Structure 1
């Protein structure tokens, strides 16, 4: 049975996100691991209302805070040591990381 580690990275800081993705990719190449991705999702534009008081009076608010979230997904097939190493990287502030491990049964 093979393990597939799915890594999802999200950030509003695109250059920092791309640096981490490049670091994961180059590490996988050095180790000879099978890496699928990175797959990019369309950027997600978010808007957060900002009120002038804690009462939430809709007539008294500042301009909304708008920001963009960028997402990259990668899969490491097998190579559990690399997957463990990647999840222990020192990720910069503002880069959110999720790791999901799946066990895949190969066809005989």
Structure 2
């Protein structure tokens, strides 16, 4: 039964994120790996409060930033998927991996 590895990459730095996923896509093409993606998602806007002191109500404007997400699916190439999931990425990149075993039709 084939395995599908779904990788989700998140970052606040869109240029670094796109560079990382494009590098993975190029490596997959060189190795003949079946890869779907990267699939971009709409940016998520995040807001974090900032305080001048530890007392509530005395603060600066909230810090606002965007988080960008790209998803990749790797089909049947377990070794390549392990390599990609275990690679070292810049600190600004968060990687999440999910592996599914899919059965064929009628099995």
TM-score range, shorter chain: over 0.9
Q: Does 1:49 align with 2:49?
A: yes
Instruction: Give the alignment's TM-score, normalised by structure 2.
Output: 0.95
Instruction: Give the alignment's TM-score, normalised by structure 1.
Output: 0.94
Unaligned runs of 5+ in 1: none
1:83 matched residue in structure 2: 81
Tell me the number of residue pairs that the alignment of Structure 1 and Structure 2 aligns: 106
Matches of 2:22 and 2:38 in 1, distance apart? 9
Which residue of 64, 84, 92 maps to 2:90? 92
Displacement of 1:31 in angstroms is 1.1
SS in 2 for 1:93: coil
After TM superposition, the runs of 4+ consecutive aligned structure 1 residues lying more than 2 A away are none
> Aligned-residue CA RMSD in angstroms?
0.9
2:39 matched residue in structure 1: 39
2:68 matched residue in structure 1: 70
Displacement of 1:50 in angstroms is 0.7
Displacement of 1:51 in angstroms is 1.3
Matches of 2:80 and 2:95 in 1, distance apart? 16
